[in-house]
Amino acid sequence: MCGIVGYTGPREAYPIIIKGLKRLEYRGYDSTGVALQNGQGVKVYKKKGRVAELEDAIVGKDLHAHVGIGHTRWATHGEPSDRNAHPHQSSSGKLAMIHNGIIENYSQLKNELISKGYVFHSDTDTEVLLNFIEEIKKNNNCSLEEAIRIALKRVVGAYVILLVDADDPNTIIAARKGSPLVIGVGKGEHFLGSDASPMLEYTKEVVYVNDYEMAIVKPDELILKNLGNEKITPYIQKLDLELAAIEKGGYDHFMLKEIFEQPQTVYDCLRGRLDPVAGTITMSGIQQYADQIVKASRIVMVACGTSWHAGLAAEYIFEELCRINVEVEYASEFRYRNPVINKGDIIIAISQSGETADTLVAIETAKAKGAIILGVVNVVGSSIARASHGGAYTHAGPEIGVASTKAFTGQLAVLTMIALKIAYIKGSISNDRYMHLLNELNEIPEKLAWVLNHADHIKKLAEKYKDARDFLYLGRGYNFPVALEGALKLKEISYIHAEGYPAAEMKHGPIALVDETLPVVFIATKDAYHEKLISNMQEIKARKGRVISVITEGDEMAKSLSEDVMIVPETDEIVAPMLSVVPLQLLAYYIGVAKGQDVDKPRNLAKSVTVE
Ligand code: M6R
């Protein structure tokens, strides 16, 4: 959470920073600020609200500078307000700092500083850390770099910090632990960002900074050090990302664009891996651990949010195809629970961003206990990808809408391929079934396009149901995680209360909610549980609930029991969630839009949850 941008070089810094912040707004959008260093001191402009609001508010101000830092905030310590917006300035006014993360021992540090006469102008942990750094610099009569190093050794928590100093007009000092930091290397200039999007049109050469590293960044010099003051050679990587991938491309919202990209993103995910003719699945990051996975007595899926739903779907798939015991864990619970982890256990960490703090810490905990960590991650080079022993990227491209859509179908595609590969090696699947499923998986992109061709129908349903107060989503088996995902999408985008439930479990409580006002969405595609689900539909209908169903094309029985249907093409039940989730993504999107919500940036949320 929180987006950070920095620039030092010959160009005007302000436009680069503002454009970069707009691209990082998915990380937080409570308040915005910039600090500009023009050789005559540091100027700070900041404001509650979105980047565009700051832009409007500072028209006409002196924004000329060749060095600057900028921040878009997701509030942790202190409400969203002008005073809590970053950058913060030190007591002397000479230093300005932005921060992404949480300083857990800030109150202890704050008390120490208060006893020394410091006065604070915000409620943030960031201002505390900044003044702590300034106090060390003053007391030890040392350089800013040295003061930061000393301060960070006392800090408990997570951070990326960027500082500018009025006495050092060309330099930005950055440090990282637990939150992402990318440095773009240009000709005589450097760019800094929470991800690479702010620097895309200027350079394709980037350095991913690691935990416990500091960067001293000048226009023509990048010095990387560890906290022990030893120099590290920056490892420059080439970005494989085009500008078009992070733009809306004619769609009203990123979320809609990303929903509509799914035929292509799933195709990209399968391409070069799945060969339905040869009957092969090529995944080198899995192949190297295949023996251990085959022999594993259990696999633990660790994730949060939508990625957790993908993990739950994978539990059904792995247990069915591979006959390996699978547990699905919320990363935030797993990491604090002192879980039983044995050497050789397989942990599959699922994450779109690859930066989710709880997932990252969970895998580090498991790794320390001897588990093998496989990452199913979307963002290339992200912290979870780098912390994993092996795994596979989802190749869905940048997902900018806060609600996860194409990442989910990508995760399902990757997890299904892994399960099929392991089942084949293990011999727990017949050859016929294996070949059949390869073909079914291969046809998913085309079938996704078919589903998306019916988006207008779902838009009409959204108009019809948008005023409902609550929604219930029900599914069984492979479609139970889809019910959870459909409910999550609706609540986060439209703010309508929605619950996902196993369809049969509904009788044990939620059925009490059913009346003639409650839309009940059944994920009712044809599978082994279909008849049971039809009975559940009857139960809802008998209580006058409004049944809306996602059904397989040609399923007249389910259609006759439903007030409205959303149709998907026939496919095997194992790969069905990749299709059945799409109408639910569209329904949530269109209801959110119909209610006038900001679907790409729903309130209180951030795309990448880098705090615990
Ligand atoms: O980046 P991750 O996949 O690790 O993120 C996990 C969740 O924060 C994320 O799925 C969140 O629940 C989304 N807002 C869901 O749409």
Q: What lines the ligand 1 site, CB under 6 Å? A: 304-307, 351-353, 356, 359, 402-404, 488, 492, 605, 608-609
Mean pLDDT score, 337-348: 90
Q: Is residue 609 part of a domain?
A: no
Q: How far is CA 442 from the centre of its chain?
A: 26
* pLDDT at position 442: 97
Closest-lying ligand 1 atom to the alpha carbon of residue 404: 16
- For the record, the structure tokens of 14 come out as 């302000």
Domain of 320: which CATH number?
3.40.50.10490
Note whether 20 and 81 are same-domain residues: yes
Last residue of a domain, one of 227, 245, 263: 245
Mean pLDDT score, 479-484: 98
Note whether 433 and 546 are same-domain residues: no
Residue 99 and residue 76 in contact, taking contact as beta carbons nearer than 8 Å: no
Selecting among 110, 137, 257, 607, the annotated active-site residue is 607
Note whether 137 and 202 are same-domain residues: yes
Note whether 431 and 465 are same-domain residues: no
607 catalytically annotated: yes
| CB atoms near residue 501 (< 10 Å) | 21
Last residue of a domain, one of 197, 229, 245: 245
Taking 3-state DSSP, the helix, strand and coil percentages for the chain, each rounded to the nearest 5, stand at 40, 25, 35
Give the alpha-carbon dihedral of 493, 499, 500, 506, to 10 degrees.
Answer: -160
The answer on pLDDT for 466 being more than 90 is yes
Dist. CA 248–CA 59, nearest whole Å: 26
Interval between CA 358 and ligand 1 midpoint (Å): 11
Note whether 239 and 279 are same-domain residues: no
List pLDDT tens digits, range 277-286: 999 999 999 9
* pLDDT at position 380: 87
Show Cβ contacts of residue 290 under 8 Å, excluding neighbours closer than 6 positions: 421, 422, 425
Any idea what the Cα angle at residue 133 is, between residues 131 and 139, rounded to 5°? 100
Q: Is residue 190 part of a domain?
A: yes
Interval between CA 288 and ligand 1 midpoint (Å): 28
Q: Which of 194, 258, 353 to mutate to test the pocket of ligand 1 (most atoms within 8 A of CB)?
A: 353
Dist. CA 233–CA 250, nearest whole Å: 42
pLDDT band at 546 (very low <50, low <70, confident <90, very high): very high
Q: Whose CA is nearest to atom 7 of ligand 1?
A: 305
pLDDT band at 507 (very low <50, low <70, confident <90, very high): confident
The rounded mean pLDDT for the chain is: 94
Q: Could you tell me the residue range of the domain that residue 499 belongs to?
A: 454-599
Closest-lying ligand 1 atom to the alpha carbon of residue 356: 4
Q: Is residue 604 part of a domain?
A: no
Interval between CA 404 and ligand 1 midpoint (Å): 6
Dist. CA 158–CA 100, nearest whole Å: 8
Interval between CA 10 and ligand 1 midpoint (Å): 38
* Amino acid sitting at position 577: P
Q: Is residue 319 part of a domain?
A: yes
Domain of 109: which CATH number?
3.60.20.10
Last residue of a domain, one of 416, 442, 468: 442
* pLDDT at position 393: 95
* Confidence (pTM): 0.83
- For the record, the structure tokens of 159 come out as 């951070």
Note whether 426 and 540 are same-domain residues: no
Residue 485 and residue 500 in contact, taking contact as beta carbons nearer than 8 Å: yes
| φ, ψ dihedrals at 441, nearest 5° | -65, -40
Q: What is the DSSP letter of 528?
A: T
Q: Is residue 605 part of a domain?
A: no
* pLDDT at position 320: 96
Q: Whose CA is nearest to atom 11 of ligand 1?
A: 305
Kindly tell me the burial class for residue 154, based on how many C-beta atoms sit within 10 Å of its own C-beta (0-12, 13-18, 19 or more). middle
Note whether 385 and 241 are same-domain residues: no
The answer on pLDDT for 586 being more than 80 is yes
pLDDT band at 249 (very low <50, low <70, confident <90, very high): confident
Percent of the chain clearing pLDDT 70 (strictly above): 100
What is the H or E stretch that residue 452 is in? Answer: helix 444-452
Q: Which of 404, 412, 611 to mutate to test the pocket of ligand 1 (most atoms within 8 A of CB)?
A: 404
Note whether 223 and 302 are same-domain residues: no
Mean pLDDT score, 40-60: 94
Mean pLDDT score, 523-534: 93
List, as one string, the DSSP characters of 75-113: -SSS-SSTTTSSPEE-TTS-EEEEEEEEETTHHHHHHHH
* pLDDT at position 344: 85
- For the record, the structure tokens of 585 come out as 């993504």
Q: Whose CA is nearest to atom 9 of ligand 1?
A: 305
Measuring CA to CA, which residue among 81, 49, 64 is closest to residue 17?
64
Residue 579 and residue 448 in contact, taking contact as beta carbons nearer than 8 Å: yes
What is the total count of domains within the chain? 3
Note whether 145 and 32 are same-domain residues: yes
Dist. CA 208–CA 215, nearest whole Å: 11
Note whether 531 and 458 are same-domain residues: yes
Q: Whose CA is nearest to atom 8 of ligand 1?
A: 305
Mean pLDDT score, 541-564: 95
Interval between CA 499 and ligand 1 midpoint (Å): 17
Across 315-337, b (16+ Cβ under 10 Å) vs e yields bbbbebbbebebebbbbbebbee
Dist. CA 581–CA 489, nearest whole Å: 10
Note whether 168 and 274 are same-domain residues: no
Q: How far is CA 331 from the centre of its chain?
A: 14
Q: Is residue 610 part of a domain?
A: no
Q: What SS3 class is residue 537?
A: helix
* pLDDT at position 132: 97
Q: How far is CA 173 from the centre of its chain?
A: 26
Note whether 288 and 371 are same-domain residues: yes
Residue 254 and residue 245 in contact, taking contact as beta carbons nearer than 8 Å: no
Bridge partner list, 390: 374
2 catalytically annotated: yes
Interval between CA 249 and ligand 1 midpoint (Å): 23
Dist. CA 199–CA 3, nearest whole Å: 13
Mean pLDDT score, 476-486: 97
Q: Is residue 335 part of a domain?
A: yes
Closest-lying ligand 1 atom to the alpha carbon of residue 609: 8
Closest-lying ligand 1 atom to the alpha carbon of residue 407: 3
Q: Is residue 362 part of a domain?
A: yes
Residue 55 and residue 3 in contact, taking contact as beta carbons nearer than 8 Å: no
Region at 155 (left for phi over 0; alpha for psi -120 to 50; beta for the rest): beta
Bridge partner list, 372: 346
Selecting among 2, 269, 304, 322, the annotated active-site residue is 2
